[in-house]
Amino acid sequence: MLPARGPALCSALRRAAPCGFASFHCTARRPRGARVAVVLSGCGVYDGTEIHEASAVLVHLSRGGAEVQMYAPDVPQMHVVDHSKGQPAEAESRNVLVESARIARGKISNLAKLTTVDHDAVIFPGGFGAAKNLSTFAVDGKDCKVNREVERVLKDFHKAGKPIGLCCISPVLAAKVLSGAEVTVGHEEEEGGKWPYAGTAGAIKELGAKHCVKEVTISFPDNSHVDTKNKVVTTPAFMCETELHNIFDGIGAMVKNVLKLTGK
């Protein structure tokens, strides 16, 4: 029998797709998993979200069966960095929500709309945007201020007893907002450049949080830290100079622990 062609093929596809032709292009329905919000801070490591970290978070959430919605604050970036030169582009200005939409493939909402009612957990990827756009940590250190909506989200999820995941530099947000939280940004010494941002651990202590030394590689069972009391899960990610697969696996451990804490 000859294969169907033209209109006959379209008709065959419609019959094969239980919900009509459009569903032929969709993935099969899965049992409902945890509903997780992912908060972005722009697009690009030096002035926004670290894209590899965001992708790793999304891949591991997908693998864990989670339903994901991405958010970002509708505010101007602190500045714009020319990533080819590593220097600020003085004549440019960009919006955090608009830039974050690049990572979200357009499916993103204003952070002001994020509520605990709609989600079981929240995750913050890293990148300098967490320290520049979600807070002023990059400029003010321990005296930093946190974006109003970011602070609200952190406090609301904490009060609701719902888990919060953070990686790379973003744990400083929890350290500032959640008194007594336990977080990790990796090691506390640079160790010949392996941990170039090790000084962040000292700032976390000055903020009143507890810093826990952790590894980043999957060969160590403790490459993410779980603060069971506060339901805060953190992992170093690009705070360490290491291979990309180690970053990916470490973020996977963080995501896995966040999902586990949701109980779904």
Catalytic residues: 168
DSSP string, 226-247: EETTTTEEEE-GGGS---HHHH
List all residues 6 or more positions away from 229 whose beta carbon is below 8 Å from its beta carbon: 182
Rounded Cα distance, 100 and 133, in Å: 12
List all residues 6 or more positions away from 225 whose beta carbon is below 8 Å from its beta carbon: 182, 183, 184, 212, 214, 233, 234, 235
188 and 194 Cβ atoms separated by less than 8 Å: no
The two counts, helices (H) then strands (E), for the chain are 9, 11
Rounded Cα distance, 96 and 163, in Å: 24
Phi/psi of residue 185, each to 5°? Answer: -125, 20
Length of the chain: 264
- Packed helices 96-103 and 51-63: angle between N→C axes, nearest 10 degrees: 50
Q: How far is CA 246 from CA 10, 147, 184, 238, in A?
A: 45, 30, 16, 9
Phi/psi of residue 165, each to 5°? Answer: -110, 140
Phi/psi of residue 163, each to 5°? Answer: -65, 150
